Every structure is written in structure tokens, then in C-alpha cells.
Amino acid sequence: MLESAQLEYGRADRAATHESLSVAEIRAVLSAGRPAGAADFTTLVADILEQLGIRIRNDAISAWHQYWNSAPDKWGWDVPRTKHDCVRRLRSDLALLLEPYGVAVDPTPGDRNRADI
């Protein structure tokens, strides 16, 4: 009984807070325009990161090399670049891939180690 009341309350709450998109907003989203909201943005970034990961792993031009040092360590092993270098490269790739959607990737003014999208 309590569970059904919780489900009914959840349905009523979602119905009360639901905001429908306008036709113009739907057209913009479908034509690869700016994300309509946080959920749309999250899905877009997750999809782009997945595509980028596939490209880095499987690309014929060995895109993964940008995340690894070209010189092996003293034992002859290839080693990954520093976290800072990898974050800069990833931010650069994200900036290029998000540009068609009108999303800018800029460093946070107060913190040089983070990026806001």
C-alpha cells in the first residue's frame, strides 16, 4: 500500500514539473543545435566521449599515441603522459567535437586545472 502511494506521488510530481519543449526547440535539437537541457547535454557529451574513445582505440592513424610518451622509459616500456597533458588533449578534442552544437569548452577562470563546458 505504501509502495503504490509512493509510485502515485512520483507520477503526480513528474506530471506537475514536466515542461514540454516548443516546436522550435525540438527542431533545434534534431538539427544538431544546442542541447535543450541538462539531460540532452549529458547524453550528447556521453555519446561524443564514447565515439572519441572508439576513435582513440581503433583509429588507423593510432590516435592513442597522443596520450602516450613517444620515448620509452628506462626499461623500454611506453609510458602514459601526465594527467595534465591528457586532460588538455581531451579538452581540445571535446572543443572541436562540441563546436557544431554551439557548446564552448573553456577553462574555469579561477582554477587552471578544471574545465567548464
Query: Against a cut of 0.85, is the pTM above it?
Result: no
Question: What is the dihedral angle through the alpha carbons of 105, 106, 108, 109, rounded to the nearest 10 degrees?
Answer: -170
Q: Contact at 8 Å (CB) between 41 and 35? A: yes
CA distance 76 to 42: 40
Cα(first)–Cα(last) distance of the chain, in Å?
Answer: 44
CA distance 69 to 76: 12
Share of the chain above pLDDT 90, in %: 2
Q: What is the pLDDT of residue 16?
A: 82
Kindly state the helix (H) or strand (E) to which residue 66 belongs, with its residue range.
none
Say if residue 6's pLDDT is above 80: yes
- The residue ranges of every structural domain in the chain are 34-116
Tell me the per-residue pLDDT of 36-46, one tens digit each, with 9 for 90 and over. Answer: 778 888 888 89
Say if residue 116's pLDDT is above 60: no
CA distance 62 to 57: 8
Tell me the per-residue pLDDT of 89-111, one tens digit each, with 9 for 90 and over. Answer: 888 888 888 888 888 877 555 55
Confidence band for 114, pLDDT divided at 50, 70 and 90: low
Tell me the per-residue pLDDT of 37-84, one tens digit each, with 9 for 90 and over. Answer: 788 888 888 999 998 888 888 877 777 777 777 667 677 677 777 788
